[in-house]
């Protein structure tokens, strides 16, 4: 029988816009996967997903009316259990065959499963018809939808109730031009759907066949069914409208997705507001227009906010002036609120708000925001002093004191996303230095992956202090992340610390930073320095792997626990260059062997040998004398290169050790019976081990 294209659509009430894209993709992919698993669709079948504010749909190409029959083999039981001594079926076998719907005299095969001879029933399983298979796939797809919040509603019979994301009112299921008799959410499949609420040319839209669905909806129903096509059209209109004004729309992928989910056929219009509102910080105006109204603010060539914005209408009237005027009238009170908050907030200085933080609870076990500010001040001052002396320490202390004060402002109370940003504006208004204002804004950075780092040293000091205080505080009370749950974003805080230490190459040791963070807390606070350090190192390993370094390269560098994270990229580059050398494999293997020998000597009579100097007079074998001579020549050169920062050059010097190291292990017995000889050879190996492992633990490069 001929394969045809399949269309399935659920017509529902308005879906949650922030979840629409994910709901549409999940519905389509689960439906297609269900059809493929039953043999009704193949791996070459193409899925097209549809998602509008009032529908979820999927088009799957080359769907069979009946799945192909397939051979199945049922493992029954061991021959010894299924057949008696005369070879006749036992009661157990007869019961098993009956359960499978097979006759008692069905031919059986004998095969060995690796342990014993087993009876198998080979049969042909008829392929499922499309109606049956689609019903199962549709039920599974609906059950697996990532619904953010489920609704319960009654069906038309007044008795039955259904749980779904929104009440469903229509179901379309077409295989080619034929309706597939399936049911879902109390609905029977048909071929009729609904178009735009106000602008559909036909209502209902009767779908001719699966392949005409999208075209009919657009031409007769005034609906662009594809989320991606609707998004692309919306983006095209936004840029065209902005270009006509010689401006650019704000770049916000999340807002673009949300607005795409709110309209069935986008129509972009240009609106304006009074220029007097531009006196308010543009971050406030942009946020209120985006978050509250779903508008697209327009920026000039210098990325400054203008008094024009774009609105996306779901209707296309002949005269759009009333739509424009309505949106301009709606946005005005929002902007007026922002201006009022800004004006009111500036009547009090940030410094005057700091005492009020003592009344704001930060965490039940960690005290108030006021207590937290004192801890961050202590830590920021210590970091500032290490980075730039007392002058920087004083600036970091001042910035840390004011950093959280904007939490008590009206603007941040209305828009929590602006914390830090508003603090910077108010600090400048109060006459504080730009470095202080920048640090207040930047101390939350980096807020997310790819975010910018703090701009100056003051901001770095306060940002590090803020994140380390959070880690030390929450680890100290046992609030650790588990699985995918990280309510306090501790992984993000750890990655922020890593990025600042690495990308700014700060002369700060992780151990010292973590210890300083814990000293900022009372003595009764839980001591979890080791746990915090391990947590940060684990995040470091993951971040380096994501940057493209191999597990062996990262392990080799991190195994030495470099105190300065800023050195790590240089060490990784040096290790990668070393691994490309022809001598690297042999030297890495030898290094691993040396490490194993030295570890075995620990705890015994030879434990102190590794710390002893090599006695040249006790070097009796030519191979050990040659290795000692090579080390005396190579080790100082490698050390000088290391000290000068030429880490790759330091490792290159080790290439000269390959031949003497190979000869040593071929000709010399380290564990000699003579104790003095043995200890001297262990000292020689310890000297070799130290020379080879300044940059990285090269033994970790051995796979």
Q: Which residues contact 178 (CB under 8 A, 6 or more apart)?
A: none
The alpha carbon torsion through 97, 99, 100, 101 (nearest 10 deg) reads 90
Q: How confident is the model at residue 222 (pLDDT cuts 50, 70, 90)?
A: very high
Q: How confident is the model at residue 604 (pLDDT cuts 50, 70, 90)?
A: low
- What 3-state DSSP class applies to 13? coil
- What 3-state DSSP class applies to 520? coil
Cα separation, 160 vs 367, in Å, equals: 51
Which structural domain, as residue segments, surrounds residue 290?
227-315+325-345
Burial 643-680 (b: 16+ CB within 10 A, else e): eeebbbbbbbbbbbbbebbbbbbeebebeeeeeebbbb
Q: Which residues contact 469 (CB under 8 A, 6 or more apart)?
A: 372, 375, 376, 379, 517, 520
Q: Which position has the token pair 């983006």?
A: 235
616 and 685, same domain (yes or no) = yes
pLDDT, mean of residues 187-195? 95
Taking only the tens place, the pLDDT of each residue in 20-77 is 999 999 999 999 999 999 999 998 999 999 999 999 999 999 999 998 887 778 888 8
489 and 467, same domain (yes or no) = yes
| Weakest-pLDDT range from 133-147, 244-258, 291-305, 678-692 | 678-692
pLDDT, mean of residues 373-399? 97
**In the chain, pLDDT over 90 holds for what percent of residues?**
69
pLDDT (0 to 100) of residue 115: 77
- Dig out the tokens for 403 from the structure: 């950093």
Cα separation, 465 vs 377, in Å, equals: 8
387 assigned to some structural domain: yes
Q: Phi-psi category of 478—alpha, beta or left, where left has phi over 0 and alpha has psi -120 to 50?
A: left
424 and 535, same domain (yes or no) = yes
The continuous run of DSSP H or E covering 255 comes out as helix 253-260
For residue 468, give the CATH number of its domain.
1.10.3210
564 assigned to some structural domain: no
30 and 114, same domain (yes or no) = no
pLDDT (0 to 100) of residue 34: 95
213 and 274, same domain (yes or no) = no
The residue from 221, 242, 260 where one domain ends is 221
pLDDT of 618 above 90: no
Question: Residue by residue, what is the 3-state secondary structure of 358-425?
Answer: HHCEEECCCEEHHHHHHHHHHHHHHHHHHHHHHHHHHHHHHHHHHCCHHHHCHHHHHCHHHCCHHHHH
Taking only the tens place, the pLDDT of each residue in 304-343 is 999 999 999 999 998 999 999 999 999 999 999 999 999 9
- What 3-state DSSP class applies to 486? coil
Contact between residue 193 and residue 221 where contact means Cβ atoms under 8 Å apart: yes
Q: Which residue has the higher pLDDT, 252 or 601?
A: 252
Taking only the tens place, the pLDDT of each residue in 541-594 is 999 999 999 999 999 999 989 889 999 999 999 999 988 888 888 888 888 888
pLDDT of 607 above 60: no
Contact between residue 250 and residue 294 where contact means Cβ atoms under 8 Å apart: no
For residue 579, give the CATH number of its domain.
1.10.730.10
282 assigned to some structural domain: yes
How far from the centroid of its chain's Cα atoms is residue 328's Cα? 38
Contact between residue 296 and residue 238 where contact means Cβ atoms under 8 Å apart: yes
555 assigned to some structural domain: no
Q: Which position has the token pair 């069914």?
A: 225
396 and 539, same domain (yes or no) = yes
Burial 128-147 (b: 16+ CB within 10 A, else e): bebbebbbbbbeebbeebeb
| Weakest-pLDDT range from 192-196, 245-249, 665-669 | 665-669
Instruction: Give the mean pLDDT of the chain.
Output: 92
Instruction: Please measure the distance between the N-terminal and C-terminal CA atoms of the chain and give it in whole angstroms.
Output: 54
pLDDT of 185 above 90: yes
85 and 54, same domain (yes or no) = no
90 and 140, same domain (yes or no) = no
pLDDT, mean of residues 429-453? 95
Q: What phi, psi does 702 have (nearest 5°)?
A: -80, 125
The residue from 174, 197, 221 where one domain ends is 221
- Dig out the tokens for 290 from the structure: 């985006």
Q: How confident is the model at residue 394 (pLDDT cuts 50, 70, 90)?
A: very high
How far from the centroid of its chain's Cα atoms is residue 262's Cα? 26
Cα separation, 665 vs 595, in Å, equals: 13
Q: Which residue has the higher pLDDT, 141 or 90?
A: 141
170 and 54, same domain (yes or no) = yes
335 and 414, same domain (yes or no) = no
pLDDT (0 to 100) of residue 608: 63
155 and 104, same domain (yes or no) = no
Closest residue by Cα to residue 189 from 49, 335, 10: 10
The residue from 171, 206, 221 where one domain ends is 221
478-to-183, 374, 482, 676 alpha-carbon distances in Å: 50, 22, 11, 51
Q: Phi-psi category of 399—alpha, beta or left, where left has phi over 0 and alpha has psi -120 to 50?
A: alpha
Q: What phi, psi does 430 have (nearest 5°)?
A: -80, -5
Question: Residue by residue, what is the 3-state secondary structure of 120-162?
Answer: EEEEEECCCEHHHHHHHHHHHHHHCCCCCCCEEEECCCCCCEE
Domain count for the chain, please give it.
5
135 and 28, same domain (yes or no) = yes
Cα separation, 162 vs 153, in Å, equals: 6
């Amino acid at each position: 029988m001929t394969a045809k294209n399949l269309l399935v659509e659920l017509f529902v009430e308005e879906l949650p816009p922030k979840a629409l894209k994910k709901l549409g993709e999940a519905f389509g992919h689960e439906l297609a996967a269900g059809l493929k698993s039953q043999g009704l669709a193949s791996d070459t079948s193409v899925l097209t997903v549809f998602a509008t504010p009032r529908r979820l749909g999927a088009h799957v190409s080359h769907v069979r009316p009946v799945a192909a029959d397939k051979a199945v083999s049922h493992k029954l039981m061991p021959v010894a259990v299924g057949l008696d001594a005369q070879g006749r079926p036992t009661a157990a076998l007869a019961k098993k065959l009956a359960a499978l719907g097979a006759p008692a005299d069905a031919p059986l095969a004998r095969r060995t499963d690796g342990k014993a001879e087993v009876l198998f029933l080979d049969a042909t399983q008829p392929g499922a018809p499309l109606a049956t298979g689609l019903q199962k796939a549709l039920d599974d797809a609906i059950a697996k939808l990532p619904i953010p919040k489920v609704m319960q509603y009654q069906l038309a019979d007044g008795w039955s109730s259904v749980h779904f994301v929104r009440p469903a009112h229509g179901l379309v299921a077409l295989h080619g031009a034929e309706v597939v008799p399936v049911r879902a959410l109390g609905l029977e499949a048909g071929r009729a759907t609904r178009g735009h609420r106000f602008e559909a040319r036909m209502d209902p839209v009767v779908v001719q066949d699966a392949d005409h669905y999208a075209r009919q909806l657009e031409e007769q129903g005034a609906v662009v069914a594809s989320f991606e096509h609707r998004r692309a059209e919306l983006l095209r209109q936004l840029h065209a409208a902005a270009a006509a004004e010689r401006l650019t729309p704000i770049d916000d992928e999340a807002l673009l997705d949300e607005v795409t989910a709110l309209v069935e056929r986008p129509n972009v219009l240009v609106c304006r507001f009074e220029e007097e509102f531009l006196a308010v910080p543009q971050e406030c105006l942009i946020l209120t227009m985006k978050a509250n109204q779903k508008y697209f603010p327009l920026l000039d060539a210098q990325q400054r906010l203008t008094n024009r914005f774009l609105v996306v209408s779901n209707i296309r009237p002949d005269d759009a002036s009333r739509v424009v005027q309505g949106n301009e009238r709606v946005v005005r009170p929002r902007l007026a609120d922002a201006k009022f908050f800004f004006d009111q907030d500036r009547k009090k200085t940030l410094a005057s708000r700091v005492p009020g933080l003592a009344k704001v609870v930060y965490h039940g076990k960690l005290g108030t925001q006021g207590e937290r500010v004192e801890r961050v001040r202590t830590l920021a001052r210590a970091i500032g002093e290490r980075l730039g002396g007392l002058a920087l320490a004083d600036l970091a202390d001042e910035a840390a004191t004011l950093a959280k004060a904007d939490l008590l402002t009206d603007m941040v109370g209305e828009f929590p996303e602006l914390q830090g940003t508003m603090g910077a504006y108010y600090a400048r208004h109060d006459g504080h230095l730009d470095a202080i204002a920048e640090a207040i804004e930047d101390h939350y950075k980096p807020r997310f992956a790819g975010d910018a780092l703090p701009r100056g040293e003051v901001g770095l000091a306060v940002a590090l202090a803020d994140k380390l205080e959070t880690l030390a505080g929450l680890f100290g009370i046992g609030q650790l992340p588990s699985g995918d749950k990280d309510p306090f974003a501790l992984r993000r805080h750890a990655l922020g610390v890593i990025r600042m230490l690495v990308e700014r190459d700060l002369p700060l040791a992780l151990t010292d930073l973590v210890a300083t963070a814990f000293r900022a807390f009372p003595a009764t606070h839980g001591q979890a320095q080791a746990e915090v350090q391990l947590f940060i190192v684990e995040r470091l390993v993951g971040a380096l792997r994501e940057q493209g370094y191999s597990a062996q390269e990262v392990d080799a560098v991190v195994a030495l626990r470099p105190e300065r994270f800023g050195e790590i990229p240089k060490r990784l580059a040096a290790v990668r260059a070393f691994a490309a050398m022809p001598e690297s494999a042999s030297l890495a293997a030898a290094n691993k062997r040396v490490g194993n020998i030295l570890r075995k000597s620990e705890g015994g009579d030879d434990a102190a040998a590794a710390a002893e100097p090599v006695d040249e007079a006790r070097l009796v074998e030519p191979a050990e004398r040659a290795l000692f001579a090579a080390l005396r020549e190579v080790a100082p050169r490698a050390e000088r290169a290391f000290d000068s920062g030429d880490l790759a050059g330091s490792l290159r010097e080790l290439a000269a050790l390959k031949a003497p190291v190979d000869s040593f292990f071929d000709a010399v017995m380290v564990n000699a019976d003579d104790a003095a000889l043995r200890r001297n050879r262990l000292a020689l190996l310890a000297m070799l081990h130290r020379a080879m492992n300044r940059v990285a633990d090269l033994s970790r490069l051995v796979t």
